[in-house]
């Protein structure tokens, strides 16, 4: 098996090499490396200990039909509700990934026509998914890196569901929360789905103004991948039930099936019990720190990064308009090529992401998640000087 080994060399920071050695002795050092990759990313502090706790308490072997599991699920959902201000009437479901959530939202929220605002790879995926599922999606496309201006946008009356990517992880463009709210006021009657995969819970999303909101845990929550949270409004539930009378809305993960099991604090299938347990722990830890403090620190680190790159002689933010700049995924244009910067940072034990797809060689992506400390950011910037 090929594993990544990291050797601590005195005074030189970390050296990362691939090796065919099987021994896991270096794995423990790997987790000390700051991963600034936009997901999976740095683990939230405490995760290693909670994993150990899960193992010693038998949580990985627990039946998902047991009362003990129901307690875990109930606790995690209660913590999520508190952390994100989820209204009591909204339901909270667990899926396997953000990509799955796109599919479920289209299947359950659209009989025929969805409307998409696209600007980069993830919003494009959402749009393509609707086509793949046999729907007739409409779209408004914005140039990559440019602000998504919703103020003048008209949505065709045939649209049943509007799909917005609040934080486009491929380009580092965000839709500011007040712009979302104004857009909502202008279009109160159409269901609104928000992909908040790489921004929740770091921005104050007004959940009560939306119908389907989803995020996966390997981004801002600092957990291993393999779990996604989908929040559904009462009217989105009604719509799913209505569509379900006429056509397929999927099977075990159709909203009504998810709701039936959620009422018992269960899931239709055997879920990622470990991840549900860990998510509860991270939510409690975030509540202890305070979500306000986390959001403030996110803002502070984002400002640190953007002002550094605004002043940098060659590397510049991919998004020029300040209000459109993502707070959690900072995309940097590197005209001389990103590969050498990435590998040079790696030798110092700092792992940053490459640009997404066609921007792979010309951009860097730096995650600014709650697991990243101000000190780590400063260290990263000092290395980029
Ligand atoms: C990562 C990401 C996804 C995909 O989530 P998965 O859990 O990897 O399927 C979707 N949308 C956005 C904005 C993302 O950042």
Give 98 Cα–ligand 1 centroid separation in angstroms. 5
Q: Which atom of ligand 1 is nearest to 170's Cα?
A: 15
Is ligand 1 within 6 A of the CB of residue 328? Answer: no
pLDDT at 3 over 80: no
Is ligand 1 within 6 A of the CB of residue 165? Answer: yes
CA nearest ligand 1 atom 4, residue: 98
Is ligand 1 within 6 A of the CB of residue 215? Answer: no
* pLDDT tens per residue across span 127-177: 999 999 999 999 999 999 999 999 999 999 999 999 999 999 999 999 999
CA nearest ligand 1 atom 5, residue: 98
Is ligand 1 within 6 A of the CB of residue 5? Answer: no
Q: Which atom of ligand 1 is nearest to 99's Cα?
A: 9
pLDDT for position 358:
92
- The DSSP 8-state label assigned to residue 325 in this structure reads B
- Residue keyed to tokens 């600092």: 222
Give 242 Cα–ligand 1 centroid separation in angstroms. 28
Q: Are 156 and 112 in contact (CB under 8 A)?
A: no
CA pair distance 284, 281, nearest whole angstrom: 5
Is ligand 1 within 6 A of the CB of residue 97? Answer: yes
* pLDDT tens per residue across span 96-122: 999 999 999 999 999 999 999 999 999
- Tally of CB atoms within 10 A around 276: 22
pLDDT for position 312:
96
pLDDT for position 32:
58
Is ligand 1 within 6 A of the CB of residue 338? Answer: no
Q: Are 127 and 137 in contact (CB under 8 A)?
A: yes
Give CA torsion, residues 58, 59, 61, 67, to 10 deg.
Answer: 110
pLDDT band at 385 (very low <50, low <70, confident <90, very high): confident
Give 22 Cα–ligand 1 centroid separation in angstroms. 31
Pocket test for ligand 1, best of 40, 41, 98, 195 (most atoms within 8 A of CB): 98
Distance in Å from the first CA to the final CA of the chain: 37
Mean pLDDT of 298-304: 98
b/e map of 92-105 (b: 16 or more CB within 10 Å)?
bbbbbbbeebbbbb
Is ligand 1 within 6 A of the CB of residue 216? Answer: yes
Give 284 Cα–ligand 1 centroid separation in angstroms. 23
Mean pLDDT of 179-183: 98
Q: Which atom of ligand 1 is nearest to 100's Cα?
A: 9
Q: Which atom of ligand 1 is nearest to 101's Cα?
A: 9
Q: Which atom of ligand 1 is nearest to 97's Cα?
A: 7
Higher pLDDT, 72 or 31: 72
pLDDT for position 31:
45
Give 198 Cα–ligand 1 centroid separation in angstroms. 7
Is ligand 1 within 6 A of the CB of residue 228? Answer: yes
The structure tokens listed for 357 are 């797809």
Q: Which atom of ligand 1 is nearest to 165's Cα?
A: 13
Give 215 Cα–ligand 1 centroid separation in angstroms. 7
**Whole-model pTM?**
0.92
CA pair distance 190, 194, nearest whole angstrom: 13
Is ligand 1 within 6 A of the CB of residue 172? Answer: no
Mean pLDDT of 235-247: 98
* pLDDT tens per residue across span 56-98: 999 999 999 999 999 999 999 999 999 999 999 999 999 999 9
CA pair distance 17, 15, nearest whole angstrom: 7
* pLDDT tens per residue across span 350-368: 999 999 999 999 999 999 9
pLDDT band at 41 (very low <50, low <70, confident <90, very high): very high
Give 340 Cα–ligand 1 centroid separation in angstroms. 26
Give 23 Cα–ligand 1 centroid separation in angstroms. 32
């Amino acid at each position: 098996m090929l594993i990544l080994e990291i050797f601590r060399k005195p005074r030189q920071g970390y050296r990362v090499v691939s090796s065919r050695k099987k021994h896991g002795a270096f794995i423990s050092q790997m987790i000390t490396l700051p991963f600034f990759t936009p997901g999976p990313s740095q683990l939230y502090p405490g995760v290693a200990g909670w994993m150990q706790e899960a193992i010693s308490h038998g949580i990985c072997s627990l039946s998902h039909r047991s009362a003990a599991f129901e307690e875990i699920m109930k606790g995690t959902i209660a913590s999520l509700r508190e952390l994100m201000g989820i209204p009591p009437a909204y339901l909270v479901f667990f899926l396997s990934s953000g990509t799955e959530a796109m599919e479920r939202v289209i299947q359950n929220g659209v009989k025929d026509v969805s409307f998409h605002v696209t600007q980069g790879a993830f919003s494009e995926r959402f749009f393509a998914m609707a086509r793949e599922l046999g729907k007739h999606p409409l779209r408004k496309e914005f140039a990559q890196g440019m602000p998504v201006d919703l103020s003048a946008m008209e949505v065709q009356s045939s649209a049943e569901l509007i799909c917005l990517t609040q934080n486009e992880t491929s380009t580092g463009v965000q839709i500011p929360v007040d712009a979302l709210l104004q857009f909502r006021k202008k279009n109160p009657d159409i269901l609104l789905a928000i992909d908040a995969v790489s921004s929740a819970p770091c921005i104050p999303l007004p959940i009560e103004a939306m119908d389907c909101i989803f995020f996966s845990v390997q981004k801002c929550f600092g957990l291993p991948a393999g779990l996604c949270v989908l929040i559904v409004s009462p009217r989105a539930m009604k719509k799913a039930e209505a569509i379900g009378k006429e056509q397929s809305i999927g099977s075990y993960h159709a909203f009504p099936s998810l709701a039936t099991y959620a009422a018992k604090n269960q899931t239709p299938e055997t879920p990622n019990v470990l991840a549900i347990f860990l998510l509860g722990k991270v939510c409690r830890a975030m509540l202890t720190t305070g979500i306000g403090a986390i959001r403030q620190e996110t803002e502070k680190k984002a400002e640190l990064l953007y002002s550094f790159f605004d002043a940098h002689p060659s590397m510049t933010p991919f998004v020029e308009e300040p209000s459109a700049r993502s707070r959690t995924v900072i995309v940097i244009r590197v005209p001389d090529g990103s590969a050498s910067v990435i590998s040079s940072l790696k030798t110092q034990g700092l792992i940053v992401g490459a640009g997404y797809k066609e921007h792979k060689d010309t951009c860097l992506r730096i995650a600014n998640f709650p697991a990243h400390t101000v000190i780590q950011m400063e260290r990263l910037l000092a290395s980029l000087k």
